[in-house]
Structure 1
């Protein structure tokens, strides 16, 4: 029997692809208008690269702002590199897409939030019966639903 379709994993991949596409556009053309981004990422991710003093100050997660001053935006397949200014000290960062927890563009009230489960293939144990499977699926996917209505201006 084949494995069930993992909609959560597919949705995460699509949302991270959206982030990559937006950042590629900014890399090529700069930030248009009032657009700017708040990006929260997991500083413990093994592929995240940041200065030791930043890792010490933000041992779990960190939110960066891409707005007025940033340099060297280099968008790749697995993540992006950027140099940001921290108190008049430019610091290079590499943020893997897998490490991103939230991506928000407040200028247009758009945001994405990723749940904390990893995207590994076999990290979800099989529940022993169908009832528990339904409950487990409902519980796991609640945090993955993105409602665009919550970001629209009223």
Structure 2
């Protein structure tokens, strides 16, 4: 459509801005769907499959046992047995069962690599955003992920799901 001259400089940072806008839109989309699921439950045959980056710089909060088993990536299914906790602006909480044990996960939307609903079918992939060593949570405009789980006694507090 438009030709690009080899000598031109992109002072607007179009590609980076578009990438950032797309990532934000995908996070907003996921947040809206999860808020609706929390409010009304899943309808029909819908199921939400999420591929999550679980590495140390993703901001995902999960038990050491799960991180040991899935150190880089985890696929979760929100279909039959799950409880959505807080669906926040930057992250959400979900309680799932793994090998008979209940686990609370806090998942930043930026850690989601893939979203899919095979009943429709619908899916999208995105590039996960990593938290670098140079970034300090207090310098960001978002709260740091919190460990809201008593890992010593393997108890999930009901306070996690109460609105403040």
Q: Same fold (TM over 0.5)?
A: yes
- 8 Å CA contact retained: 1:9, 1:119: no
Q: TM-score, normalised by structure 1?
A: 0.72
Q: Please list, as runs of the form range in 1=range in 2, the aligned pairs for 1:100-111 lying within 5 A after superposition.
A: 100-111=112-123
Q: Which has the higher helix share?
A: 1
Pick aligned residue for 1:79 from 91, 100, 104? 91
Deviation per residue, 1:95-143 (Å, 9 max, x gap): 10010000101111111101356599xxxxxxxxxxxxxxxxxxxxxxx
Report the 3-state secondary structure (helix = DSSP H, G, I; strand = E; otherwise coil) of the residue aligned with 1:16: helix
Tell me, in whole angstroms, the C-alpha distance in 2 between the residues paired with 1:117 and 1:76.
17
Query: Which among 29, 35, 53 is matched to residue 24 of structure 1?
Result: 35
Q: Deviations over 1:29-54 (max 9, x none)?
A: 11111111110111113421111010
Provide the C-alpha distance between the structure 1 equivalents of 2:127 and 2:28, rounded to a whole number of angstroms.
16
Normalising by structure 2, report the TM-score.
Answer: 0.67
* Alignment partners' CA distance in 1, 2:34 and 2:84: 12
20-29 vs 64-73, which moves further: 64-73
Structure 2: how far apart are the matches of 1:38 and 1:111?
A: 9
> For 2:129 and 2:96, how far apart are their aligned partners in 1?
28
Contact 2:110 2:129 (8 Å CA) reproduced: no
Structure 2: give runs of 5+ residues left out of the alignment.
1-9, 133-164
1:3 aligns with 2:3: no
Aligned pair count?
120
Structure 2 vs 1, CA of residues 46 and 11 (structure 1 numbering), >3 Å: closer, same or farther? closer
- Counterpart residue number, 2:6: none
C-alpha deviation, 1:73, in angstroms: 3.0
Partner of 2:101: 89
User: 5+ unaligned residues in a row in structure 1: which ranges?
Assistant: 121-154
Change (3 A) 1:10 1:58: same
